Structure 1
Amino acid sequence: MSFREAVGDHISEHRSGMLVDLVFACSWVTMVTVLFRVLDGPEWAYYLCMLAGVIAYYGFFASVAIARENETIS
C-alpha cells in the first residue's frame, strides 16, 4: 500500500471525526481571540486559554462518550 492510499484510507475512515475536530478547534480559537481582543487581556493569559482548549477538547469528548455509554445502558 502506498503512502497516498494509506492517507486516503485514513481520511475516508475518520472523515466525520476530523470535521468535528476542525470545527471545535476553529470555534475555540475564534472565541478566545474575540474575548481577548474585547477585554485586552495579557498575552500570557491568551496563550494559557489556548492551551486550555486542548483540555476542553478531551474533556468535552470524554463526557460525550460517557453520556453515549450511559444512554445505551439505560
Structure 2
Amino acid sequence: MTDTTAPDDSGSEPSLGDRLRRHVSENRRGMLHDLVFALAWVTLVSLLFDYVFVNAPTWAYYMFMLAGIPAYFGFFISLDMAREQR
C-alpha cells in the first residue's frame, strides 16, 4: 500500500474508518464541488425531461445524464484555465 504517512509503531495498518476520515479531510472541498455539480446536473436534466421534453424517449434521458460526465470535466477544466489567467 502506498501511504504518505509514516507507519505507526504498533505495526498495524490504520483502520478503514481512519483512512476514510483522512481521505475526506484531505479532499473535502473537491468532494463538495463534485456533489454540488452532480446534484445540479441531475436536477436540471430531470426538470427538462419532466416539463420540456415530456414525450422524449427514455434513451434520450439517459444520454443527457451521461452527457454530465464530459460536462463535468469541461466545466472544471475551463474553471482551472480561468483561474490561471487571473
Under a length normalisation based on structure 2, what TM-score does the superposition of the two structures give?
0.77
Q: Structure 2: any 5+ residue segments left out of the alignment?
A: 1-13
Matches for 1:1-74 after TM superposition, within 5 Å: 1-38=14-51, 39-40=53-54, 41-71=56-86
Measure the CA separation in 1 of the matches of 2:83 and 2:34.
Answer: 18
Identity of matched residues, % = 52
Under a length normalisation based on structure 1, what TM-score does the superposition of the two structures give?
0.89
Superposition deviation, residue 16 in structure 1: 1.4
The count of corresponding residues between Structure 1 and Structure 2 is 71
Measure the CA separation in 2 of the matches of 1:67 and 1:6.
Answer: 33
Q: CA RMSD in A?
A: 0.9
> What is the identity, as a one-letter code, of the residue corresponding to 1:35?
L
Q: Which runs of 4+ in 1 moved over 6 A?
A: none
Superposition deviation, residue 37 in structure 1: 1.0
Q: Structure 1: any 5+ residue segments left out of the alignment?
A: none
Larger helix fraction of residues: 1
